[in-house]
């Protein structure tokens, strides 16, 4: 485990594992499967409420109904604020592209230049998950899931490690200096322990 900054504990999986999303293979299953919505902050909720009119027509009809009835978020059993889901399945912000790919309506609008918010950072960071510990430290853990096997295979084929693939969202969440410290630790670790792998 790496200690980055003063209070962030980062799993060695970020350097030992390879990862590169393979949407053609998984079809965005991470936005469909699961037992709760995506973790969101209060600031992210405000941004989502602000852009909701712009993405409204991209949402599934059932998603619009759920949002109208229950809002865009709820507290999960652990007391964490998360996005609403549809019938224990899709995130309310999922939509479908040609070929059956499940994509994020927020990210779609961002990439099309219609909004200035990409998506919740918890989504952008996946397969990394953040947990605030009782002492205030933040643990950065790797979530292994069978639906991401193709991403691990593609990452290994391309030689892209988790920390490299997730540079942009890690910088977004923790800052450039933090990421540079992480990258330096990862590069040293590779040289010392993984150079023959």
**Nearest one of 40, 105, 101, 95 to 71, comparing CA atoms:** 40
Q: Under a CB-based contact definition with an 8 Å cutoff, are residues 156 and 197 in contact?
A: no
Tokens of 179: 């990421």
Give the model confidence (pLDDT) of 39-65 as tens digits: 999 999 999 999 999 999 999 999 999
Give the model confidence (pLDDT) of 5-37 as tens digits: 999 999 999 999 999 999 889 888 888 887 788
Please give the model's pTM, rounded to 2 decimal places. Answer: 0.91
**Nearest one of 190, 189, 164 to 179, comparing CA atoms:** 164
Give the model confidence (pLDDT) of 153-166 as tens digits: 999 999 999 999 99
Q: Under a CB-based contact definition with an 8 Å cutoff, are residues 67 and 37 in contact?
A: no
Strand-pair category, 138-142 with 8-10: parallel
> What angle in degrees, to the nearest 10, is found between the helix axes of 176-189 and 167-174?
130
């Amino acid at each position: 485990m790496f200690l980055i900054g003063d209070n962030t504990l980062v799993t060695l999986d970020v350097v030992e594992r390879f990862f590169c999303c393979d949407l053609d293979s998984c079809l965005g299953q991470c936005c469909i499967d699961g037992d709760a919505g995506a973790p969101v902050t209060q600031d992210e909720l405000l941004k989502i409420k602000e852009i909701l009119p712009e993405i409204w027509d991209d949402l599934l009809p059932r998603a619009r109904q759920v949002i109208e009835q229950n809002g865009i978020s709820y507290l999960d059993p652990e007391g964490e604020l998360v996005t609403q889901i549809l019938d224990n399945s899709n995130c309310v912000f999922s939509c479908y592209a040609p070929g059956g790919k499940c994509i994020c309506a927020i990210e779609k609008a961002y990439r099309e230049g219609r909004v200035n918010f990409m998506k919740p950072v918890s989504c952008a960071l996946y397969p990394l998950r953040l947990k605030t510990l009782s002492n205030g430290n933040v643990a950065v853990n790797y979530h292994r899931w069978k639906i991401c096997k193709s991403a691990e295979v593609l990452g290994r084929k391309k030689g892209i490690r988790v920390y490299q693939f997730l540079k942009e969202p890690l910088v977004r969440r923790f800052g450039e200096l933090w990421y540079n410290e992480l990258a330096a630790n990862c590069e040293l670790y590779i040289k010392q322990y993984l150079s023959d792998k």
